[in-house]
Structure 1
Amino acid sequence: MTGVENQAGRHQEVGHKSLLQSDALYQYILETSVYPREPEAMKELRQVTANHPWNIMTTSADEGQFLNMLLKLINAKNTMEIGVYTGYSLLATALALPEDGKILAMDINRENYELGLPIIQKAGVAHKIDFREGPALPVLDQMLQDGKHNGSFDFIFVDADKDNYINYHKRLIDLVRIGGLIGYDNTLWNGAVVAPPDAPLRKYVRYYKDFVLELNKALAADPRIEICQLPVGDGITLCRRIS
């Protein structure tokens, strides 16, 4: 493993992107199963993102690998991503989709997206991406109002403002097809979901904790979906729409 790649891996560990108790075990997973199979474009984007001051926001390499395989398994073609950052998970998705696959990608910060865009373009998958800068909720409301997009998405990935996850779910459940998947990222929230009230949490972790707890409770009680919460990255909950 190169020095730069090692640095990128360390950034992920420092960013608490895995809930494994042993950093050595997580590093073993990365070095044995993830990095050797990581597409060159994803490796380049991961290394570029590792040097960004907000690198804690990126999707971890193991989660990127998981999403890429998941999308192939369900034969996804029409997808959506809310929260893009520099585009690591977006690239994982674009590489998994067929040549005529499409991703509606939304983020409030185009500058971060454009940091990864040259790498996405070099990978030959930029034509699959429809990037929209700005809040996602108004776009979702317009799509629902139009009525043309109901039940049209195979997969939707949400890694954005945790205080709006419930609001996203209320809309996305009608936009994903029956049998399709919605993936909510960070649903174990640095382990804070089981932290005692007086635990010394970072300010932003403490602020969003209750929103994540609210989401987890709501998803578990939603009869329209089947769920599976996985300790990959910072926790991802998959929701399969059944009605």
Structure 2
Amino acid sequence: MAANNEKKEQNIHLPHETILKSDALHQYILETSVFPREHPCLKELREMTLTHPKYMMATPGDEGQLINMLIKLINAKNTMEIGVYTGYSLLSTALALPSDGKVLALDVSREYYELGLPIIEKARVAHKIDFRQGPALPLLDELLQDEYNKETFDFVYVDADKDNYINYHKRVVELVKVGGLVAYDNTLWSGSVAVPSDAPMTSYVRNFRGHVIEFNKHLAQDLRIQICQLSVGDGITLCRRII
């Protein structure tokens, strides 16, 4: 009986980097559309991160590709990232930005960021990055104290503690300009948002499932933004500020 429960848990807890039902289909997407175009330094950073015990925290390749294209589509120059880890999404952003573009990177850990920093430097985009260590909420509040910072960011990517997503949104929506984009990662949370609350799932997924569900509801009710939820990676929701 215990073995059957474990099997059910494995089935419901899909790989963190994708919510696709078929691992083979995900691999097809990567091998056909992502890896052939992946920058050599992104590949090196991805492969290095796979050796880290917390590799599941990394942004997957298809999502990094999406971020890169979005930044280019909106001609973003001033961007922000909340939650950096070893920097795959950060490097995807920096590579997409023009030579005078900037990304403000916020993370509680400098240790993880410095694992990827030599590769970011090899890509010659480290000058575009302003890394600041510490909890993001106080840093965001500090930015908001200066009226000059409001409505100045073209693009914001959030991949941090899910129980603070609503708090992050309340702040970044004031910092992003009208017409700018905010992207939130993990908004499908391993598919757990669409299953009953008593369904088998890991304790980690269960602990944050409610926060993700409430956040998704919050975004749907925020009339300041236009939203689009995509089944890329573990679910990514794009928010375009309209007022």
Note whether the superposition's TM-score is higher than 0.5.
yes
- Opposite residue 185 of structure 1, the aligned amino acid is D
The AA in structure 1 aligned to 2:97 is L
Aligned to 2:231: 231
Q: CA deviation at 1:15?
A: 3.6
Deviation at 1:146, TM superposition (A): 1.3
Equivalent position of 2:11 in the other structure: none
Q: 1:196 is matched with which residue?
A: 196
The Cα RMSD (Å) is 1.1
Residue type at the aligned position of 2:208: Y
Q: Please identify runs of 4+ aligned residues in structure 1 that moved more than 2 A.
A: none
Q: Please give the secondary structure, in 2, of the residue aligned with 1:148.
A: helix
Name 2:58's counterpart in structure 1: 58
**Counterparts of 1:206 and 1:126, CA distance in 2:** 37
Q: Can you list the C-alpha shifts for 1:8-51, whole angstroms capped at 9, x where unaligned?
A: xxxxxx84311111111111111111111100000000000001
CA–CA separation in structure 2 for the residues paired with 1:21 and 1:213? 20
Aligned residue in 2 for 1:116:
116
The count of corresponding residues between Structure 1 and Structure 2 is 231
Instruction: Kindly state the Cα deviation for residue 55 of structure 1 after the two structures are TM-superposed.
Output: 0.5
Q: Which residue in 2 is equivalent to 1:4?
A: none
Matched, 1:102 2:102: yes
Distance, in Å, in 1 between the alignment partners of 2:18 and 2:54 is 17
2:44 corresponding residue in structure 1: 44
Question: What is the CA-CA distance between 1:230 and the residue it aligns to?
Answer: 0.2
**CA distance, structure 1, for counterparts of residue 55 and residue 217 of structure 2:** 29
User: Is 2:169 the partner of 1:166?
Assistant: no
Cα separation, 2, equivalents of 1:65 and 1:79: 16
Task: Give the match's secondary structure for 2:17.
Answer: coil
User: 1:153 Cα shift?
Assistant: 0.1
CA distance in 2, matches of 1:227, 1:56: 26
Residues of 2 paired with 1:42 and 1:60: CA distance? Answer: 11
Post-superposition CA distance 1:126-175 (Å, at most 9, x none): 00000001101111111111111000000000000000000001111110
- Structure ranking higher on relative contact order (CA contacts 8 Å, 6+ apart): 2
Stretches of structure 1 that go unaligned for 5 or more consecutive residues are 1-13
Residue deviations 1:166-215 (CA, integer Å, cap 9, x gap): 00011111100000000000000000101212111111110100110011
**3-state SS of the aligned residue for 2:113?**
helix
Q: Secondary structure at the match of 2:100?
A: coil
Question: 1:198 and 1:163 mapped to 2: Cα distance?
Answer: 20
TM-score by structure 1 length? 0.93
Shift, 1:222, TM fit: 0.5
Q: Which secondary structure state, in structure 1, belongs to the residue aligned with residue 149 of structure 2?
A: coil
TM-score under structure 2 normalisation?
0.93
Identity of aligned residues (%): 68
